[in-house]
Amino acid sequence: MATTKYIFVTGGVTSSLGKGIISASLAKLLQARGYSVTIQKLDPYINVDPGTLNPYEHGECYVTEDGAETDLDLGHYERFLNVYTSQANNVTTGRIYQDVINKERRGDYLGKTVQIIPHITDEIKRRIKILGSKGKFDFVITEIGGTVGDIESLPYIESVRQLRWELKNKCVVIHLTLVPFLAASGELKTKPTQHSVKTLLEAGVQPDILVLRTEHPLTADIKQKVANFCNVQKEAVIESKDVSTIYEVPLEMQKERLDEIVLKSFDIEPGEKPDLKPWKEFLKKYKNPKNTINIALVGKYVELKDAYKSINEALIHAGAANETRVNVKYIHSELINEDNYEKELSDVQGIIVAPGFGHRGIPGKILAVKFAREKNIPFFGICLGMQMAVIEFARNVLKLDDANSLEMDPKCKHPVINLMEEQKMIIEKGGTMRLGAYDCKILKDSKAYQAYNKTCIAERHRHRYEFNNTYELEFSKSGMIATGKNPETDLIEIIEIPKHKWFVGVQFHPEYKSTVLNPHPLFVSFVKSILEK
Catalytic residues, which ones?
383, 509, 511
Task: Tell me if 465 contacts ligand GLN by CB under 6 A.
Answer: yes
Task: Please state the separation of Cα 206 from the chain's center in Å.
Answer: 30
Measured from the CB atom, the residue of 263 and 311 that comes closer to ligand GLN is 311
**What DSSP state is assigned to residue 114?**
P
CB 48 → ligand GLN: shortest distance, Å? 19
Cα separation, 243 vs 210, whole angstroms: 19
User: Applying CB under 6 A, does 464 fall inside the site for ligand GLN?
Assistant: yes
Q: What is the DSSP letter of 325?
A: E
Q: Which is nearer to ligand GLN, 42 or 383 (CB)?
A: 383
Instruction: Determine if 356 is a binding residue for ligand GLN (CB under 6 A).
Output: yes
Element (H, E) at 229: helix 220-230
Q: How far is the CB of 385 from ligand GLN (least distance, A)?
A: 7
Least Å distance, CB 63 to ligand GLN, is: 9
Considering only 462, 485, 500, 513, the residue that binds ligand GLN (CB under 6 A) is 462
Question: With binding defined as CB under 6 A, does residue 50 bind ligand GLN?
Answer: no
- From CA 357, how far away is CA 235, in angstroms rounded? 49
For the window 118-137, what string marks contact with ligand GLN as x by the rule CB under 6 A?
--------------------
Contact 436, 423 (CB under 8 A): no
What SS3 class is residue 442?
Answer: strand
User: How many chain residues are in contact with ligand GLN, going by CB under 6 A?
Assistant: 10
Is residue 461 helix, strand or coil? strand
Establish if 51 lies at the interface with ligand GLN (CB under 6 A): no
| Nearer residue to ligand GLN within complex by CB, 69 or 138 | 69
Count how many Cα atoms sit within 13 Å of the Cα of residue 405 in the half-sphere of its side chain. Answer: 27
The span from the CA of 53 to the CA of 162, in Å, is: 31
Determine, following the binding rule CB under 6 A, whether residue 146 of this chain makes contact with ligand GLN.
Answer: no
Residue among 364, 326, 362, 319 nearest 345 (CA) = 364
Rg (CA), the chain: 25
Task: Tell me the one-letter amino acid at 495.
Answer: I
Do 276 and 255 touch, CB atoms closer than 8 A?
no
Nearer to ligand GLN, 156 or 308 (CB): 308
Among the candidate windows 21-29, 47-55, 249-257, 463-471, which touches ligand GLN by CB under 6 A?
A: 463-471
Kindly state whether residue 300 participates in binding ligand GLN, applying the rule CB under 6 A: no
**Of 89-97, 334-342, 394-402, 458-466, which segment contacts ligand GLN by CB under 6 A?**
458-466
Q: Name the segment binding ligand GLN (CB under 6 A); options: 121-129, 316-324, 353-361, 373-381.
A: 353-361
Do 514 and 317 contact (CB within 8 A), yes or no? yes
For residue 505, state whether it binds ligand GLN (rule: CB under 6 A): no
Residues within window 369-388 making contact with ligand GLN, judged by CB under 6 A = 383-384
Facing residues of 142 across strands? Answer: 8, 40
Q: Tell me how far apart the 2 most distant CA atoms of the chain are, in Å.
A: 75
The interface region with ligand GLN, picked from 85-93, 355-363, 492-500, 511-519 by CB under 6 A, is 355-363
The Cα–Cα gap between 522 and 451 comes to: 6
Decide if residue 463 touches ligand GLN (CB under 6 A): yes
CB of 416 to ligand GLN, least distance (A): 13
Nearest approach in angstroms of CB 354 to ligand GLN is 8
C-alpha–C-alpha distance, residues 280 and 290, integer Å: 17
Decide: is 309 part of the binding site for ligand GLN (CB under 6 A). Answer: no
Near ligand GLN in 391-450, by CB under 6 A = 407
Q: How far is CA 26 from the centre of its chain?
A: 17
Overall size of the chain counted in residues: 533
459 counts as binding ligand GLN under rule CB under 6 A = no
Contact positions vs ligand GLN (CB under 6 A): 355-357, 383-384, 407, 462-465
